[in-house]
Amino acid sequence: MKAIAKSKINLFLRVVRKRKDGYHEIETIFLPLDNPCDTVSLDNSRNGKLEVTCSKASLSGPDNLCYKAAEAFAKSAKIKPTWKIHVTKRIPLAAGLGGGSSDAAAVLRLLQKKYPNKISEAEIFRLASKIGADVPFFLNPVSSFATGIGEKLKPLPIKCRIPIVVVFPRFPVSAKWAYQNRMKSVSKASLDKVFSALEKNDPRRLTSLRNDLAPALWRKFPFLAILKDDLLRSGSLGVEVSGSGSSLFAIAKSSESAERISKTMNRRFACSIRCFTAVVNV
């Protein structure tokens, strides 16, 4: 059994407050991306134990969120976890694109399909929420407005086609670091402006973006500011950090423009970045 694990960007991210349990309340808009994506496979293990392997060897083993997702499912379903899970990794690690969370959600869905009567949908969602804040979104990755720690989801009933360029600068940023070093945001972008642009089916109005985690990254990593400037000079309408970074996303005028921007960035920065293009249908 196999499943595709999508990535995501945060079109808008406002940190509301820090909770007593250490998590942060947020307001965010999740947009799913088909590119980049991972592939997660599930088979019965030959040794009767739970195994998790990955095309990126350092991500194999029990620290992988896929392992934790499988253990949580087995415990809830009261079955022995005798599966071999393999992840073909394409989503960069610690890039703000949700790769680990998406892989974990894919494992839950594959196990739910394998054992359709063992766990309710409500229980699957509860397990996902315990594994990670972004995991519930990836159970049903559709464009959504999220609150709480990201687990309170409301799908966006808006029709808007948004060409996206994602630039990964080939270095990771941990979410923990991003939240611990968060600086005061001076962005005047509001949810109302973003929703208005989406409702009017006008991506060109999405030039004023917001991510409250971004200011610390701009200061810590000057290369990100260089990439942003080049993305804007290449014709991007707006550029922002996705999630806790380190990836940037740029909104393009068209799919053709997105491809041109990607080629231009790859030519200018050669081995320093990885570029992906996608079209989001909100």
Give catalytic residue positions: 8, 134
DSSP helix/strand/coil, 21: coil
DSSP helix/strand/coil, 125: helix
List all residues 6 or more positions away from 49 whose beta carbon is below 8 Å from its beta carbon.
Answer: 81, 82
Q: Which residues of 140-159 are buried (b: 16+ CB within 10 A; e: fewer)?
A: ebebbbbebbbbebeebeee
| Owner of token pair 């991510």 | 211
- Dump the DSSP string for 209-267: -EETTHHHHHHH-HHHHHHHHHHHHTT-SEEEE-TTSS-EEEE-SSHHHHHHHHHHHHH
**Which two structure tokens, joined as six digits, stand for 128?**
């996902």
Distance CA 37, CA 4 (A): 7
- Contact by Cβ (8 Å): 98, 133: no
